[in-house]
Amino acid sequence: MRAQELAGKKGVRILAIESSCDETAASVVEDGRRVISHAMYSQIKIHEKYGGVVPEIASRKHIEKLPYVVEEALSAAGMTIADADALAVTYGPGLVGALLTGVSYAKAAAYAAKKPLIAVNHIEGHIAANYITYPELEPPFVCLVVSGGHTEIVVTEDYGKYRLLGTTRDDAAGEAFDKVARVLGLNYPGGPNLERLAKDGDKDKYALPKSFRGETHLDFSFSGIKTAVINLVHGMEQRGEEFSPADVAASFQKTVTEELIKNTMIAAEREGIKKIAIAGGVSANGALRTLAAKEAEKRGFDLFIPKFEYCTDNAAMIGAAAYYSLKNGAAPLDLNAEPSLEL
């Protein structure tokens, strides 16, 4: 069946593929809301020793693992590719080589199986992770997208229709977590390791800079706090001062999460929208989740945050977003990777 004919139908099963960074993932999702199966090969262990993702290694691993991961997702769903109604793939944003492996694989598989291929924006996928966790969630809602490469506040006005309210002017929040974690001697990926360290720390020990005091826009900046932490740590080390890395981690995490949630609450108040969602890898952060819950409750907002396993990169979120893109039709077979694709 053609993609447009599947739009809005019930019982539509999409086989989705995600390979934009260092997770090789495949999933079968029904009607954009129900995960039938989910398979993933994480490359974290491979990239850990380099302190970050090495793009060439990531691409080569995707090529090696994709066929197995797709097979695992299909067999866990009790299906073959012939039983899928459509295929979906992340075509951007992300690492160009990594994206190309998934796009090439998906184009070939869709062509061979005579299925429509849906091209999915990875960030739209992160937002759609909320549809899996909350089958009742419908637009409009305000969404804070916080990941390794993005920090944005958007209004999801309708499925596939977004309006940008604020964005980072420099580093993404996840990137700042990763860089600060590195200065504190933690392994990649820094975010979860920094969170673990921060648990035993005093979050009020260090006053760190916040961004744009006195201005009315909803943009973010995290390079100032990142530099402040680097200078703080290096200064204490050079002076031979004893300090607790846990206190630094906790103070950094508190400052960043407060900035993120403050702007998000202002955005929802200004827009008069009472539903707030959070999406992307940093939404796995416990301090962020707790603060968001507290501030949302205070204002009578409903809060939506994906289940932990759907916060960071995964293919289920791509399958969810793809269902709502069916109406736009299938991607052409000359579909290319778009590393800088925007929402």
Ligand X SMILES: Nc1ncnc2c1ncn2[C@@H]1O[C@H](COP(=O)(O)OP(=O)(O)OP(=O)(O)O)[C@@H](O)[C@H]1O
Binding site for ligand X (CB under 6 A): 21, 93-94, 122, 126, 147-150, 174-175, 177-178, 189-192, 195, 280-282, 284-285, 312-313
Three-state secondary structure along 248-273? HHHHHHHHHHHHHHHHHHHHHHHHCC
Q: Which is nearer to ligand X, 175 or 247 (CB)?
A: 175
User: Contact at 8 Å (CB) between 311 and 191?
Assistant: no
284 contact, one of Mg ion, ligand X, none, CB 5-8 Å limit per kind: ligand X
The distance of closest approach from Cβ of residue 98 to Mg ion in the complex, given in angstroms and rounded to an integer, is: 11
Per CB under 5 A, residues contacting Mg ion are 147, 313
Determine the 3-state secondary structure of 181 from DSSP: helix
The distance of closest approach from Cβ of residue 7 to ligand X in the complex, given in angstroms and rounded to an integer, is: 26
Q: Which is nearer to ligand X, 174 or 201 (CB)?
A: 174
Q: Which is nearer to ligand X, 75 or 187 (CB)?
A: 187
Question: For residue 129, which of 324, 328, 307 has the smallest C-alpha distance?
Answer: 307
* Beta-carbon contacts of residue 211 (< 8 Å; ≥ 6 apart): 219, 220, 221, 222, 224, 225, 259
Determine the 3-state secondary structure of 67 from DSSP: helix
Q: Which is nearer to ligand X, 116 or 280 (CB)?
A: 280
Task: Report CA-CA distances (Å) from 252 to 77, 78, 92, 244.
Answer: 42, 46, 30, 13
The distance of closest approach from Cβ of residue 20 to Mg ion in the complex, given in angstroms and rounded to an integer, is: 7
Question: For residue 74, which of 324, 319, 321 has the smallest C-alpha distance?
Answer: 319
The distance of closest approach from Cβ of residue 196 to ligand X in the complex, given in angstroms and rounded to an integer, is: 8
174 contact, one of Mg ion, ligand X, none, CB 5-8 Å limit per kind: ligand X
150 contact, one of Mg ion, ligand X, none, CB 5-8 Å limit per kind: ligand X
Could you tell me where the DSSP H helices lie in 165-276? Answer: 173-183, 190-198, 223-238, 245-271
Phi and psi at residue 212, in whole multiples of 5°?
A: 50, 50
Q: Which is nearer to ligand X, 109 or 198 (CB)?
A: 198
190 contact, one of Mg ion, ligand X, none, CB 5-8 Å limit per kind: ligand X
The distance of closest approach from Cβ of residue 282 to ligand X in the complex, given in angstroms and rounded to an integer, is: 4
